[in-house]
Amino acid sequence: MRNAGFKTIKYDVETKDGYIIALYRITKKKELFWGASKRPYPVLLMHGLLSSPFDFVLQDRHKALAYKLLASGFDVFLGANRGTSFSKRHVRFNKSSPRYWAFSHIELGKYDVPALLEKVSEVTGLEKVLYVGYSLGSKQFFSWTSEWPANCSSRVKAMWALAPVAFLENIKSPPLRILSYLIGPIGHGKRLIGEMEFHPSNPRLRKATAALCSLKGLGCPSCQHFLYALGGYGSRQVDIVRDLY
Protein backbone atom coordinates (compact mmCIF):
# COMPACT_ATOMS: atom_id res chain seq x y z
CA MET A 1 0.00 0.00 0.00
CA ARG A 2 2.87 2.37 0.75
CA ASN A 3 4.31 1.68 -2.69
CA ALA A 4 0.95 2.62 -4.20
CA GLY A 5 0.99 5.96 -2.38
CA PHE A 6 -1.48 5.12 0.38
CA LYS A 7 -1.42 4.61 4.13
CA THR A 8 -3.86 3.28 6.70
CA ILE A 9 -5.19 4.54 9.99
CA LYS A 10 -6.32 1.84 12.42
CA TYR A 11 -9.20 2.21 14.88
CA ASP A 12 -10.02 -0.25 17.64
CA VAL A 13 -13.80 -0.66 17.84
CA GLU A 14 -15.49 -2.27 20.84
CA THR A 15 -18.75 -4.08 20.15
CA LYS A 16 -21.62 -4.24 22.62
CA ASP A 17 -20.74 -7.84 23.49
CA GLY A 18 -17.12 -6.99 24.31
CA TYR A 19 -15.16 -7.86 21.17
CA ILE A 20 -12.50 -5.41 20.03
CA ILE A 21 -12.39 -5.40 16.25
CA ALA A 22 -10.23 -3.48 13.80
CA LEU A 23 -11.29 -0.80 11.38
CA TYR A 24 -8.87 0.62 8.80
CA ARG A 25 -9.16 3.87 6.90
CA ILE A 26 -7.18 4.14 3.68
CA THR A 27 -5.87 7.57 2.80
CA LYS A 28 -3.51 9.12 0.32
CA LYS A 29 -0.26 10.11 1.97
CA LYS A 30 -0.67 13.79 1.12
CA GLU A 31 -4.47 14.09 1.30
CA LEU A 32 -5.67 13.01 4.71
CA PHE A 33 -8.17 15.75 5.49
CA TRP A 34 -10.76 17.35 3.25
CA GLY A 35 -12.65 20.63 3.51
CA ALA A 36 -16.35 20.49 4.31
CA SER A 37 -17.28 21.26 0.69
CA LYS A 38 -15.09 18.44 -0.67
CA ARG A 39 -15.72 15.80 1.96
CA PRO A 40 -15.93 12.39 0.22
CA TYR A 41 -18.69 9.94 1.05
CA PRO A 42 -17.59 7.09 3.37
CA VAL A 43 -17.85 3.48 2.24
CA LEU A 44 -17.28 0.44 4.48
CA LEU A 45 -15.94 -2.73 2.83
CA MET A 46 -16.54 -6.05 4.62
CA HIS A 47 -14.63 -9.19 3.67
CA GLY A 48 -15.69 -12.80 3.17
CA LEU A 49 -15.27 -16.05 5.08
CA LEU A 50 -11.69 -17.23 5.78
CA SER A 51 -10.57 -13.87 4.48
CA SER A 52 -9.43 -10.46 5.68
CA PRO A 53 -10.02 -6.79 4.91
CA PHE A 54 -6.82 -6.60 2.95
CA ASP A 55 -8.24 -8.80 0.20
CA PHE A 56 -9.61 -5.49 -1.09
CA VAL A 57 -6.09 -4.12 -1.61
CA LEU A 58 -4.10 -7.18 -2.70
CA GLN A 59 -4.37 -6.33 -6.39
CA ASP A 60 -2.61 -3.33 -7.87
CA ARG A 61 -4.04 0.16 -7.61
CA HIS A 62 -5.74 -0.10 -10.99
CA LYS A 63 -7.68 -3.26 -10.08
CA ALA A 64 -8.22 -3.47 -6.30
CA LEU A 65 -11.69 -2.33 -5.27
CA ALA A 66 -10.47 -0.17 -2.40
CA TYR A 67 -8.06 1.75 -4.63
CA LYS A 68 -10.64 2.19 -7.38
CA LEU A 69 -13.11 3.63 -4.88
CA LEU A 70 -10.44 6.00 -3.58
CA ALA A 71 -9.69 7.11 -7.13
CA SER A 72 -13.41 7.77 -7.60
CA GLY A 73 -13.47 10.09 -4.61
CA PHE A 74 -14.79 7.90 -1.79
CA ASP A 75 -13.53 7.76 1.80
CA VAL A 76 -12.68 4.06 2.15
CA PHE A 77 -12.84 2.00 5.35
CA LEU A 78 -12.03 -1.70 5.73
CA GLY A 79 -13.66 -3.69 8.53
CA ALA A 80 -12.22 -6.83 10.14
CA ASN A 81 -14.67 -9.27 11.69
CA ARG A 82 -14.09 -10.80 15.11
CA GLY A 83 -11.89 -13.87 15.01
CA THR A 84 -9.76 -12.73 12.08
CA SER A 85 -6.03 -12.15 12.46
CA PHE A 86 -6.69 -8.43 12.97
CA SER A 87 -9.50 -8.74 15.53
CA LYS A 88 -8.73 -11.31 18.21
CA ARG A 89 -9.28 -9.29 21.38
CA HIS A 90 -12.08 -9.24 23.92
CA VAL A 91 -12.59 -7.25 27.10
CA ARG A 92 -13.06 -10.44 29.17
CA PHE A 93 -12.19 -13.56 27.17
CA ASN A 94 -8.86 -14.71 25.80
CA LYS A 95 -8.75 -16.11 22.27
CA SER A 96 -7.73 -19.46 23.76
CA SER A 97 -11.10 -19.66 25.53
CA PRO A 98 -14.02 -21.49 23.86
CA ARG A 99 -16.26 -18.65 25.06
CA TYR A 100 -14.39 -16.26 22.77
CA TRP A 101 -15.33 -18.37 19.73
CA ALA A 102 -19.00 -18.76 20.65
CA PHE A 103 -20.38 -16.67 17.78
CA SER A 104 -21.81 -17.03 14.28
CA HIS A 105 -22.82 -14.80 11.40
CA ILE A 106 -25.74 -13.67 13.57
CA GLU A 107 -23.40 -11.97 16.06
CA LEU A 108 -21.33 -10.58 13.18
CA GLY A 109 -24.47 -8.86 11.97
CA LYS A 110 -25.95 -7.94 15.33
CA TYR A 111 -22.78 -6.47 16.84
CA ASP A 112 -19.87 -6.07 14.40
CA VAL A 113 -21.69 -4.32 11.55
CA PRO A 114 -23.41 -1.58 13.62
CA ALA A 115 -20.27 -0.99 15.72
CA LEU A 116 -18.15 -0.45 12.60
CA LEU A 117 -20.75 1.76 10.94
CA GLU A 118 -21.05 3.86 14.08
CA LYS A 119 -17.27 4.33 14.19
CA VAL A 120 -17.15 5.36 10.54
CA SER A 121 -19.86 7.94 11.21
CA GLU A 122 -17.99 9.20 14.26
CA VAL A 123 -14.74 9.58 12.32
CA THR A 124 -16.25 11.22 9.24
CA GLY A 125 -19.03 13.21 10.86
CA LEU A 126 -21.58 11.79 8.40
CA GLU A 127 -24.64 10.00 9.72
CA LYS A 128 -25.07 7.49 6.89
CA VAL A 129 -22.46 5.23 5.28
CA LEU A 130 -22.25 3.22 2.06
CA TYR A 131 -21.76 -0.52 2.66
CA VAL A 132 -20.14 -3.14 0.40
CA GLY A 133 -20.22 -6.75 1.61
CA TYR A 134 -18.45 -9.63 -0.09
CA SER A 135 -19.85 -13.13 0.59
CA LEU A 136 -19.93 -13.37 4.41
CA GLY A 137 -19.84 -9.58 4.47
CA SER A 138 -23.20 -9.60 2.73
CA LYS A 139 -24.63 -12.40 4.87
CA GLN A 140 -23.94 -10.62 8.15
CA PHE A 141 -25.53 -7.47 6.74
CA PHE A 142 -28.64 -9.44 5.77
CA SER A 143 -28.75 -10.91 9.28
CA TRP A 144 -28.62 -7.43 10.77
CA THR A 145 -31.22 -5.87 8.50
CA SER A 146 -33.67 -8.77 8.83
CA GLU A 147 -33.73 -8.41 12.61
CA TRP A 148 -33.11 -4.68 13.07
CA PRO A 149 -34.30 -2.90 9.88
CA ALA A 150 -34.87 0.43 11.63
CA ASN A 151 -31.24 0.59 12.75
CA CYS A 152 -30.11 -0.15 9.22
CA SER A 153 -32.16 2.61 7.61
CA SER A 154 -30.71 5.17 10.00
CA ARG A 155 -27.09 4.10 9.41
CA VAL A 156 -26.79 2.97 5.78
CA LYS A 157 -27.41 5.05 2.68
CA ALA A 158 -26.96 2.15 0.21
CA MET A 159 -25.63 -1.40 0.20
CA TRP A 160 -23.95 -3.52 -2.48
CA ALA A 161 -23.71 -7.31 -2.09
CA LEU A 162 -20.81 -8.98 -3.94
CA ALA A 163 -21.12 -12.77 -4.29
CA PRO A 164 -24.07 -12.52 -1.87
CA VAL A 165 -24.91 -15.31 0.55
CA ALA A 166 -28.18 -15.83 2.38
CA PHE A 167 -28.71 -19.61 2.56
CA LEU A 168 -26.35 -22.53 1.90
CA GLU A 169 -28.76 -25.21 0.67
CA ASN A 170 -27.85 -24.65 -3.00
CA ILE A 171 -24.08 -24.46 -2.66
CA LYS A 172 -22.44 -26.03 -5.73
CA SER A 173 -18.83 -26.59 -4.62
CA PRO A 174 -18.26 -30.40 -4.65
CA PRO A 175 -15.62 -30.36 -1.85
CA LEU A 176 -17.86 -28.28 0.41
CA ARG A 177 -20.90 -30.45 -0.27
CA ILE A 178 -18.86 -33.57 0.56
CA LEU A 179 -17.52 -31.90 3.70
CA SER A 180 -21.03 -30.97 4.84
CA TYR A 181 -22.12 -34.59 4.32
CA LEU A 182 -19.15 -35.95 6.29
CA ILE A 183 -19.67 -33.50 9.13
CA GLY A 184 -23.36 -34.37 9.41
CA PRO A 185 -24.78 -33.56 12.84
CA ILE A 186 -23.19 -30.71 14.73
CA GLY A 187 -21.49 -33.08 17.15
CA HIS A 188 -19.54 -34.73 14.34
CA GLY A 189 -18.61 -31.31 13.01
CA LYS A 190 -17.13 -30.30 16.35
CA ARG A 191 -15.05 -33.46 16.50
CA LEU A 192 -13.81 -32.96 12.93
CA ILE A 193 -12.91 -29.26 12.87
CA GLY A 194 -13.17 -28.32 16.55
CA GLU A 195 -15.26 -25.59 18.14
CA MET A 196 -12.62 -22.89 18.47
CA GLU A 197 -10.40 -21.32 15.83
CA PHE A 198 -10.50 -22.97 12.42
CA HIS A 199 -7.16 -22.86 10.60
CA PRO A 200 -7.70 -23.08 6.82
CA SER A 201 -3.94 -22.88 6.32
CA ASN A 202 -1.78 -25.65 7.73
CA PRO A 203 1.47 -27.38 6.68
CA ARG A 204 -0.33 -30.19 4.80
CA LEU A 205 -2.56 -27.81 2.88
CA ARG A 206 0.35 -25.51 2.02
CA LYS A 207 2.34 -28.52 0.78
CA ALA A 208 -0.57 -29.72 -1.37
CA THR A 209 -1.12 -26.21 -2.76
CA ALA A 210 2.57 -25.87 -3.58
CA ALA A 211 2.46 -29.18 -5.46
CA LEU A 212 -0.61 -28.10 -7.46
CA CYS A 213 0.51 -24.58 -8.27
CA SER A 214 4.30 -24.71 -8.29
CA LEU A 215 4.88 -24.92 -12.04
CA LYS A 216 2.92 -22.01 -13.49
CA GLY A 217 1.15 -20.53 -10.49
CA LEU A 218 -2.48 -19.75 -11.27
CA GLY A 219 -1.73 -20.48 -14.92
CA CYS A 220 -1.34 -24.18 -14.07
CA PRO A 221 -4.50 -26.14 -15.05
CA SER A 222 -4.40 -28.34 -11.92
CA CYS A 223 -4.17 -25.23 -9.73
CA GLN A 224 -7.06 -23.58 -11.56
CA HIS A 225 -9.31 -26.65 -11.27
CA PHE A 226 -8.57 -26.88 -7.55
CA LEU A 227 -9.66 -23.27 -7.07
CA TYR A 228 -12.68 -23.70 -9.35
CA ALA A 229 -13.87 -26.72 -7.35
CA LEU A 230 -13.90 -24.58 -4.21
CA GLY A 231 -15.17 -21.27 -5.52
CA GLY A 232 -16.95 -22.04 -8.78
CA TYR A 233 -15.84 -22.20 -12.40
CA GLY A 234 -15.00 -19.01 -14.27
CA SER A 235 -11.55 -18.42 -15.75
CA ARG A 236 -12.34 -14.75 -16.40
CA GLN A 237 -12.37 -14.22 -12.63
CA VAL A 238 -8.79 -15.48 -12.14
CA ASP A 239 -5.96 -12.98 -12.44
CA ILE A 240 -3.24 -15.25 -13.82
CA VAL A 241 -0.72 -12.43 -14.31
CA ARG A 242 -0.63 -9.94 -11.48
CA ASP A 243 0.88 -6.55 -12.20
CA LEU A 244 3.39 -5.26 -9.68
CA TYR A 245 3.76 -1.64 -8.61
Helix (H, G, I), strand (E, B) or coil at 6: strand
C-alpha count within 13 angstroms, C-beta hemisphere, residue 191: 7
Band of residue 201 on the pLDDT scale cut at 50, 70, 90: low
Fold annotation for 1-166? Rossmann fold (3.40.50)
Tell me phi and psi for residue 85, to 5 degrees.
-60, -25
Domain ranges of the chain: 1-166
| Mean pLDDT value of segment 86-102 | 92
Distance CA(61)–CA(175), nearest Å, equals 33
| Mean pLDDT value of segment 150-177 | 83
User: Is-contact 110 147, C-beta < 8 A?
Assistant: yes
Overall pTM > 0.85? no
